A = this chain, B = another copy of it.
Amino acid sequence: MVNTDTTATTSPQEDQFTVVGTRPNRHDGVDKVTGKARYSADTQLSAMLWGKILRSPYAHARIKSIDTTAALDLPGVKAVVTRDDMPEVSPDIADLGEGAAANYGFYSRNVMAREKALYKGHAVAAVAATTLDIAEQALGLIEVDYEVLPPVLDPVDAMQEGAPILHDRLLQMASPAFRVGGYGDSGSKTNISNKFEFQLGDLEQGLRDADVTIEREFQTKAVHQGYIEPHAATAYWSNDGYLTVWCSSQSHFGFRDHISRILDLPYSRVKVVPMEIGGGFGAKGAGGVYLEPVAATLSKKSGQPVKITMSRTEVFIGTGPTSATHIRVKMGATKDGRLTAAEAELVYSAGAFPGSPVGGACRTMFAPYVIPNAQIVAFDVVNNVPKAAAYRAPGSPAAAFAVESVVDELCRELNMDAIEFRLLNASKEGTRQVPGPIFGNIGNVEVLEAAKHHIHYNAPRHSPFAKDGLYRGRGVASGAWMNGSGPASAVVSMNPDGTVSLVEGAPDIGGSRAAMAMHVAEVLGVPAEDVRPAIVDTDSIGYSSGAGGSGVTFKMGIACYEAAQDVVRQLTDRAAKIWDVAPENVEYKSGLLRHREDSELSITLKDLAARLNGTGGPIVGRGTVNPSGVGNAFAHHIVDVEVDRATGKVEILRYTAIQDVGRAIHPTYVEGQIQGGAVQGIGWALNEEYIFTQDGSMANATFLDYRMPTSLDLPMIDTVLVEVPNPGHPFGVRGVGEVPIVPPMAAVANAIYDAVGVRLTELPMSPVKVLEALK
């Protein structure tokens, strides 16, 4: 894809970098386009068995007994695994130390149903056999005695008195809790697994101060991340008690930790070998452990390696989409356009086990604005659908759909320009957010300014050439995301030819090999091609959190920066030793070491690299960090649509995504992230949804029926990279991957309103919904 319209509008010190901001070929590019890159399903081990999962046909059922006798008798079947073969992990919250907590009992029960099957597709048993055919045949021989229970599918239904209860242990809370899975010891059974409340200022006063208030209710459906690579895992449980797992993930250390906990093994007994990943978008973070503990247990029982791969349908019904939501938003402003109050109520479907991304929604929905008085009440609700998984800016897109639609109505009511209104109310450094924290350095204003002056925003809004029945409109919307951090480790080794090898512990899901190599190259002043990045297994590098939360370039970038600086320190020490001078008199710059005063003393990196072994040994640099100083991300999108009043079909005519990226290490991949996020948002806006039948079956569990946008459906997504450097990163990186999925739904809805004058409040805005609204 060539993006002809990209301009970096804010790049104050462009010439300070030699590598950062350039566009070298990605180091893994040839491997990926030639098919050499090995993905999870490519794992092939000798004596490997094929595993297959038996899934519940009921959305809600008690499992009374499982008889595996007939399956085990089938020739070729080597092992059958049920709940009885896996450790019973306590569904109490595990304190992971360092303020972290998780409920591995829930994770474990999602991997293999224990007391009940909680959604149609929930794993209830698994088989390993010499061929896939035999494994599939054996599934039919497993007899599960179910007591079928009534399911509850919609989260609001699930909150009602008398709704079918999923978990006996969830009780009405005596007081609000702010932890996923939190529940008290009083009250009656409930499906409300968490409730969050945030207050800022005085909501009632704020509403009284408003000249205009708008209140709307919104609904969004579950949508799947739709990664091209289905889940697959291979495990070998050696008889010395070491488990090796080959799988793709966004976080092989996270997978190691989850697998260890679910299988009750010490962390150090599990090695996860990272395979290439064909998309994850949040869902292949640590929460994406589904097959691995099952393959491991099958391997333990059979003594052979076991591979399990999912079909596309299994991915849809057996893994987590994001939450369906119900959201009510009320906002008020003075007649001169100042926001005075905002109120929101959110209900997010968690699926079978607690843990929707509603917290992320609360933290970001009002982030683009200064709002003196606000209140958010949010519910995490369990229901009989697959457990929700993270999806790009988890929680934020649905909430932004609501808020940005309401803001659009406010602007129309106030007769104000949508961007001027947002600039007037824009959050900036020092703004207190509704959930509490105060913003540091952010680029919200710069993004809005860039949008306001963009050629797209200033192009004629309505084409005078609309064909019969076709109406055109323009919409805009803002979006915010926190971005994340975490522990990261990198090791840089000097090669004798002056190139370096880089090993790091976070998977490359979107070009991070290149971005990491560029961090090292920038510090060393060498071409990016001279740095060879590798992502190694959990036994071969220090702890590293995954590629998620838009954090990998930030945190792993800093680890790479520190590792390279460690190399530079050793290089200068080495030169000082050779020259017999004090190390502080040696400086390193752009591949040259020289004495600060004695111009006779200089040596190139390449020449010194060839002399390391004889002057004290090799040089290896390490960087291990868990950085604070994350930079928040803001985006503003502009979209032109054309609505066919006859069919209800909405066509995207033009799309521009403007975003503060802090610093684009490799602009091509930053643009790709923004384009990808926008496209996924457009799919969510117009077409994608889980359609459930009354009994909880997903009616469209194939890519034929679950409609994602293709390149034929879309124009080129133009991107504008605004660079307001994040002071928390040595080069200014913020993190770019998630925020671009936040604005599209509202931007499209606002454009549809602009075109045909109807306000759509339910996603997807599919032809049938548009037609209904037009009626």
Contacting pair A97 B489 (CB below 8 A) = no
Chain A 256-288 residues near chain B, CB threshold 8 A: 257, 266-268
A475 to B268, CA, bound (A): 51
Chain B residues whose CB sits within 8 angstroms of the CB of A266 once the complex forms: 497, 499
With known contacts A266-B499, A496-B543, A613-B98, A30–B240 Cβ distance under 8 A: yes
- Which B residues are CB-close (under 8 A) to A538? 501
From 20 to 71 in chain A, residues with beta carbon under 8 angstroms from any chain B beta carbon are 29-31, 34, 36, 42, 44, 46
Q: Which residues of B contact A610 (CB under 8 A)?
A: 97-98
Asked if B613 and A493 sit within 8 Å, CB to CB, the answer is: no
Are the CB atoms of A617 and B622 closer together than 8 Å?
Answer: no
Q: Does residue A662 face the partner (Cβ distance < 8 Å to B)?
A: no
Given contacts A489-B618, A501-B538, A541-B620, 14 further A-B contacts (CB under 8 A): A29-B240, A30-B238, A30-B240, A30-B242, A97-B610, A98-B611, A257-B496, A487-B618, A488-B617, A493-B540, A496-B543, A503-B541, A544-B618, A620-B624
What is the copy number of this chain in the assembly? 2
Cβ of A619 within 8 Å of any chain B Cβ, yes or no, is yes
Residues of B within 8 A of A532 (CB): 268, 539
* A622 touches which of B44, B238, B240, B622 (Cβ 8 Å): B622
Query: Are A612 and B495 in contact, with the CB atoms below 8 A?
Result: no
* Contacting residues, chain B, for A612 (C-beta < 8 A): 487, 543
Question: 11 A-B residue contacts at CB 8 Å?
Answer: A34-B239, A99-B614, A267-B496, A489-B493, A494-B542, A495-B543, A503-B540, A534-B539, A542-B619, A543-B618, A559-B617
Q: How far is the CA of A562 from the CA of B493 in the complex (A)?
A: 16
Tell yes or no: A236 within 8 A of B by CB. yes
Q: How far is the CA of A536 from the CA of B491 in the complex (A)?
A: 13
Interface size of A by CB at 8 A reads 63
A236 to B622, CA, bound (A): 30
| Contact B613–A617 (Cβ < 8 Å) | no
Q: Per-residue CB proximity of A466-482 to B under 8 Å, as 1/0?
A: 00000000000000000
**A34-B486 contact, Cβ under 8 Å, with A497-B267, A543-B612:** no
Using CB atoms, name the residue of chain B closest to A537. Answer: B534
A542 and B489: CB pair below 8 A? Answer: no
Binary contact readout A190-201 vs B (1 if CB under 8 angstroms, 0 otherwise) = 000000000000
Decide if A499 touches B626 in the complex (CB within 8 Å). Answer: no
- Distance in angstroms from A213 CB to nearest chain B CB is 43
Contact check, A614 vs B98: say whether CB atoms are below 8 A apart: yes
Q: Does A616 contact B (CB under 8 A)?
A: yes
Known interface pairs A614-B99, A617-B626, A618-B626; A497-B530 also in contact (CB < 8 Å): no
Asked whether, in the complex, the Cβ of A618 is within 8 Å of the Cβ of B624, the reply is yes
Q: A239-B34, A614-B97, A617-B488 are in contact. Are A539 and B501 (CB under 8 A)?
A: yes
User: Which residue of chain B is the closest to A540 with respect to CB atoms?
Assistant: B503
A500-537 near B? 1/0 per residue, CB < 8 Å: 01010000000000000000000000000010101010
Given A30-B239, A30-B240, A34-B239, A542 and B268 touching (CB < 8 A)?
Answer: no
Mark interface residues in A342-381 (1 if CB within 8 Å of B CB, else 0): 0000000000000000000000000000000000000000
Please indicate the chain B residues that have their CB under 8 angstroms from the CB of A541 in the complex: 491, 493, 503, 620
Produce 1/0 per residue, A594-621, CB < 8 A to B. Answer: 0000000000000000111111111111
The 4 closest A-B pairs by CB, nearest first: A98-B614, A30-B240, A617-B626, A268-B499
Chain B contacts for A268, CB-based, 8 A: 495, 497, 499, 501, 530, 532
Q: Is A117 an interface residue (CB 8 A)?
A: no
B626 touches A543 (CB 8 A): no
Q: How far is the CA of A305 from the CA of B242 in the complex (A)?
A: 30
Q: Determine if A641 is an interface residue (Cβ-Cβ < 8 Å).
A: no
Q: How far is the CB of A743 from chain B (nearest CB, A)?
A: 33
Q: A314-351 interface mask toward B, CB cutoff 8 Å, 1 = contact, 0 = none?
A: 00000000000000000000000000000000000000
CA distance A530 to B268 in the complex (A): 8
Q: Are B499 and A613 in contact (CB under 8 A)?
A: no
Contact between B614 and A236 (Cβ–Cβ < 8 Å)?
no
Whether B31 lies near A238 (C-beta < 8 A) is: yes
Which residue of chain B has the shortest Cβ distance to A627 in the bound complex?
B617
A694 → chain B, closest Cβ, in Å? 46
